[in-house]
């Protein structure tokens, strides 16, 4: 059988099954489509027809995929026709872990670049915060966001003495973009009553310098004390709602600008999401992952994962925290961090008993569980809790989600596969955060972000940027997965490289599987939602080191262009 015969049969099979029914239901000419794309290099991520030249859309769904000469037959008087002239088309990208911090992007002091690799000076951080402090009443917090400790032009980290230069009248906090460490000034330490003699709390640390004094770095759960002191701005209910709406509308525009058509939101203002959807400002689809309090309310109402529609639905839970950070070097390891003295194994932030109880509660309620588990210790703890829950209350196809799932071994991979778990691993980290991998070493990196190993074991691994911690550019993610080479030209864990086609599947169809939506999106297939991205070139044909630089020409969600270059 020739390739053209296969393509034509696949096209005719998909179209023939759908066109008459659609035409009867909508009283339309069965030959007409709302829109068609012709003369493209289409990477469908559909094993039945991996490549095509064209497709047609009606009612927000693909109705036919195949050759341009066949699809032309569906062009009617009102059909919008895009002659792609050889450009590439891929399914809309799906980000399975994103905090969607639109309000931070709009209203807060950004001391680092949220989207790209950019080095800044400590003086620039001080200057931006001083400017905010000048407009802030004494005693109120002055905060900076998107700090990255390895994207500084200086050869030393930020410390409390730097932040003391911002103000002695304001507590100052700089948030690492990774979300697990903050840097505070002396005023903040004084307000919180933290001294060099203060013991570390469970699940966190108050770090000290070589001189034994506090250096201002605070990790994981140790930062909670700072949220109980000082003053922060307050807003009326109306102001809070408007800020939430503006932030979500802003970040939705950013998502489609980079080619994302579906994003798993880590909690956030659900009402604001509904409101911007109603007014037409929600440009991407949302799998909403409620926080612990929200999950409790949903369970009390009998709501299960999947409730909602194709634009906004309740997905898994928020990432229930089990350990620390990969980028900030606090994830829980079974062996000490290389070179640490005294030996340091990271932070476990949950006891096994508490984790077991929480997983069992959510599992019994029919909700998809989701935990943040980076290190091998935390992943093992999570799997233990899931295995226990399944034994107590068996569920078919529960798909427990593992957010990050960074450091694995053969036994953990076996258990992940046996549990039917769905990891959402860091997508852009091998490119963006390669400058942090020296803290782990090549031997450990060969088992981190182990996409190759997971795919080979039959694990349906998906991509999660974890933005803010990592940029959410899907093309940066594809390049990272394919090359395992960072912005600095260094390659780590090359044994985990995957092909472009595999990377594309991880960021599309596997992302749909992660939330139980693989039947309706994730590939360019007749009957599925018409979410796709037009690219100036094909990621499968350019230099792999240039994938991130491909221009996104158009992003389409539900058959409607939401972004156009």
Give the per-residue pLDDT at 29. Answer: 52
pLDDT at 517: 98
Given a cut of 50, the residues of the chain with pLDDT beneath it are 1-28
How would you write 94-113 as a 3-class SS string?
EEEEECCCHHHHHHCEECCC
Tens-place pLDDT, residues 401-422: 999 999 999 999 999 999 999 9
Bridge partners for 180 per DSSP: none
Per DSSP, the three-state class of 433 is coil
Q: Render the burial of 433-458: b for 16+ CB within 10 Å, e for the rest.
A: bbbbbebbeeebbebbbbbbbbbeee
- 528 alpha carbon, distance to own chain's centre: 23
State residue 206's pLDDT score: 98
Per-residue pLDDT reduced to its tens digit, 102-139: 999 999 999 999 999 999 999 999 999 999 999 999 99
Q: What is the pLDDT of residue 16?
A: 39
**Which of helix, strand or coil describes residue 227?**
helix
Contact predicate 116/470, CB 8 Å: no
Report the b/e string of 19-34 with b at 16+ CB within 10 A. beebbeeeebebebbb
Residues 266 and 101: their CA atoms lie apart, in Å, by 9
Query: What CA–CA distance (Å, rounded) separates 24 from 2?
Result: 34
pTM (two decimals): 0.93
Q: Residue 454 has what pLDDT? A: 98
CB proximity list for 163: less than 8 A, separation 6 or greater: 126, 129, 172, 174, 183, 184, 185, 186, 216
At 62 the three-state DSSP class reads strand
Residues whose CB falls within 8 Å of the CB of residue 11, separated by 6 or more in sequence, listed in order: 49, 52, 64, 65, 66, 67, 70, 71
Residue-level pLDDT at 31: 58
Residue whose structure tokens are 């031997």: 443
Select from 137, 143, 149, 3 the least CA-distant residue to 66: 3
Q: What is the pLDDT of residue 22?
A: 39
| Vertex 513: Cα angle to 499 and 285 (nearest 5) | 105
Strand 422-426 to 462-464 pairing: parallel
């Amino acid at each position: 059988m020739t390739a053209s015969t296969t393509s034509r049969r696949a096209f005719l099979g998909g179209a023939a099954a759908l066109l008459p029914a659609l035409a009867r239901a909508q009283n339309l000419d069965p030959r007409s489509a709302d829109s068609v794309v012709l003369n493209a290099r289409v990477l469908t991520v559909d094993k039945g027809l991996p490549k095509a030249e064209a497709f047609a859309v009606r009612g927000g769904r693909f109705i036919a995929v195949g050759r341009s000469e066949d699809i032309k037959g569906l062009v009617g008087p009102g059909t919008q026709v895009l002659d792609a002239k050889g450009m590439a088309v891929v399914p809309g990208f799906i980000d399975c872990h994103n905090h969607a911090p639109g309000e931070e992007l709009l209203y807060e002091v950004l001391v680092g670049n949220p989207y790209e690799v950019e080095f800044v000076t400590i003086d620039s951080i001080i200057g931006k915060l001083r400017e905010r402090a000048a407009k802030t009443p004494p005693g109120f917090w002055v905060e900076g966001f998107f700090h990255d400790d390895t994207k500084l032009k200086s050869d030393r980290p930020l410390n409390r003495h730097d932040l003391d230069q911002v103000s002695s009248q304001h507590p100052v906090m700089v948030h690492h973009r990774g979300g697990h460490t903050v840097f505070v000034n002396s005023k903040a330490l004084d307000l919180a009553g933290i001294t060099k003699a203060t013991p570390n709390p469970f699940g966190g640390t108050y770090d000290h310098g070589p001189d034994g004094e506090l250096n201002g770095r605070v990790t994981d759960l140790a930062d909670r004390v700072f949220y109980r002191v000082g003053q922060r701005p307050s807003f009326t209910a109306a102001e809070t709602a408007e800020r939430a709406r503006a932030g979500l509308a802003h970040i939705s525009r950013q998502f489609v600008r980079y080619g994302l058509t579906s994003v798993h939101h880590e909690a956030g203002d659900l009402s604001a999401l509904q409101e911007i959807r109603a007014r037409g400002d929600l440009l991407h689809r949302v799998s909403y992952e409620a926080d612990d309090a929200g999950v409790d309310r949903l369970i009390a109402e009998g709501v299960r994962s999947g409730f909602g529609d194709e634009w906004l639905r309740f997905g898994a839970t928020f990432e229930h925290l089990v350990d620390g950070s990969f980028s900030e070097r606090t994830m829980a390891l079974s062996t000490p961090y290389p070179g640490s003295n005294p030996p340091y194994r990271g932070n476990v932030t949950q006891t096994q008993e508490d984790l077991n109880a929480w997983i069992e509660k959510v599992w019994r309620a029919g909700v998809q569980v989701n935990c943040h588990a980076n290190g091998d210790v935390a992943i093992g703890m999570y799997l233990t809790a899931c295995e226990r829950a399944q034994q107590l209350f068996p569920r078919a196809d529960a798909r427990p989600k593992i957010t990050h799932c960074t450091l694995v071994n053969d036994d953990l991979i076996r258990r992940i596969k046996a549990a039917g778990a769905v990891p959402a691993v860091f997508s852009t980290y091998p490119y963006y955060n390669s400058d942090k991998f020296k803290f782990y070493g090549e031997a450990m990196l060969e088992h981190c972000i182990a996409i190759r190993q997971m795919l080979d074991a039959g694990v349906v691994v998906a991509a999660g940027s974890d933005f803010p911690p990592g940029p959410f550019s899907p093309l940066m993610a594809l390049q990272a997965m394919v090359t395992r080479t960072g912005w600095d030209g260094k390659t780590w864990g090359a044994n985990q490289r995957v092909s472009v086609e595999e990377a594309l599947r991880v960021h599309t169809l596997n992302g749909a599987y992660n939330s139980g939506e693989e039947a309706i999106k994730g590939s360019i297939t007749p009957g599925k939602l018409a979410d796709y991205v037009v690219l100036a070139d094909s990621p499968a044909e350019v230099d792999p080191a240039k994938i991130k630089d491909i221009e996104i020409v158009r992003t389409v969600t539900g058959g409607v262009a939401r972004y156009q270059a």
